[in-house]
Amino acid sequence: MSIKKLSSAAAALALVAALGITALGHQPALAQDQASTATPVTAVDSKPAVTAPAAATKETVDNPYGIEALWSQGDLVARGTLIILILMSAGSWYILVTKLYESYKLASQAREARKTFFRASSLQEGAQKLKEGSAFRFIAESSIEASNHHEGELTENIDRNTWVTLSVQRAIDEVQARQQDGLAFLGTVGSTSPFIGLFGTVWGILHALTAIGVAGQASIDKVAGPVGESLLMTAIGLAVAVPAVLGYNWIVRRNKVTLDAARSFAAELHGVLLGAKPIRLVGGGHASATSSNNNAPTSLPVAAARAAG
């Protein structure tokens, strides 16, 4: 009996142990299931979250040194100075372009007169071969008219030789005056526009000092506009003056060449009108001719006309 009791007690203990082991085996799985179903808790970071950089926005910054800023920030004096400089620049460029065209046109007329006029059978035919409005045709027609109409009580006191000489010289003077038209404006622009720009500079600096005094401190935003205005005025004044001076010197040189050609043509025409072959001297450009009427040597004052020009 004791053995049976012991065996039954051992079997009972074994059964209890088996059940305990089975229960212990199911607990980790249950804990794992609970952990998987539980809501995850995120750790709170003490540092603030870093946000993604926003798209860079382009900001338009106004140029305090531009023409637009000069006009918008400038007062009545600054705007008036700028308008004067613009008008002077426009006028000088207009004269430069027109004088360039007239210079090449007169040079072409000189070549045409040299080729066609003195090959004609008569003076009238030679003048008709020249283009209408040509300076050389004007010289020829004026000289021919003076030679054919030497009459009247006043002109009778002047001999025909002197009368023709004066008429030829008068025609050359008119051509020269036409060529020099506008040069005074170029000279004025070239000599005065830097000082007008300097006036704008001084006024801009005064404007900057006034802005500093009103603000009480020399901050860059208070002085950038007026200082830029003053510097831009200087640059505009120089930009107006330099082309005017260069163009003036170039036009004067071109006029000298073309007027020398006109004087040479007039000297030869003067000799033909007096009925003798013209003689061209190498030194001063004089041309002399012997009149068929009184056999007295006459000369065209080319050097005097050149000195007057």
Is the model more confident about 302 or about 238?
238
List the single range of 23-37, 214-228, 268-282 with lowest mean pLDDT. 23-37
Number of domains in the chain: 1
Cβ-contact 64, 228 below 8 angstroms: yes
* Predicted pLDDT of residue 261: 87
Is the residue at 74 inside a domain? yes
Is the model more confident about 152 or about 164?
164
Sheet of strand 279-280: strand arrangement:
279-280, 287-290, 297-299
Is the residue at 36 inside a domain? no
Is the residue at 43 inside a domain? no
On average, the pLDDT of the chain sits at 71
What secondary structure does DSSP assign to 128-156, as a single string? HHSPTT-HHHHHHHHHHHHHH---STTGG
Alpha carbons 80 and 68: distance in angstroms, whole number: 15
Is the residue at 228 inside a domain? no
pLDDT grade for 5, boundaries at 50, 70 and 90: low
Question: For 100-129, b where at least 16 C-beta lie within 10 A, e where not — what string?
Answer: eebbeebeebbebbeebbeeeeebeebbeb
Alpha carbons 209 and 89: distance in angstroms, whole number: 30
* Predicted pLDDT of residue 268: 84
List the single range of 201-205, 209-213, 221-225, 242-246 with lowest mean pLDDT. 221-225
Is the residue at 215 inside a domain? no
pLDDT tens digits for range 109-152 = 888 888 888 788 777 788 888 888 788 888 888 888 877 765 65
Instruction: Kindly list the distances between the CA atom of residue 4 and the CA atoms of 7, 13, 30, 78, in Å, as whole numbers in the listed order.
Output: 5, 14, 39, 129
* Predicted pLDDT of residue 150: 59
Stretch 236-262: mean pLDDT: 91
Which residues are within 8 A (CB) of 154 and not within 5 positions of it... i.e. 6 or more apart? none
- Whether 52 has a pLDDT exceeding 90, the answer reads no
Q: Is the dihedral of CA 148, 151, 154, 155 positive or negative?
A: positive
* Predicted pLDDT of residue 290: 39
Task: Write out the residue range of the structural domain in which residue 151 sits.
Answer: 67-197+240-308
Stretch 168-184: mean pLDDT: 88
Is the residue at 303 inside a domain? yes
Q: Which of 230, 281, 187, 308 is nearest to 74 (CA)?
A: 230
- Whether 303 has a pLDDT exceeding 60, the answer reads no
Is the residue at 57 inside a domain? no
DSSP state of 282: T
Is the residue at 263 inside a domain? yes
Please give the share of the chain, as a percent, with pLDDT higher than 70: 58
- Whether 299 has a pLDDT exceeding 80, the answer reads no
DSSP state of 214: H
Is the model more confident about 73 or about 283?
73
pLDDT tens digits for range 278-298 = 434 333 343 333 344 443 333
Is the model more confident about 241 or about 22?
241
* Predicted pLDDT of residue 62: 56
- Whether 89 has a pLDDT exceeding 60, the answer reads yes
Which residues are within 8 A (CB) of 115 and not within 5 positions of it... i.e. 6 or more apart? none
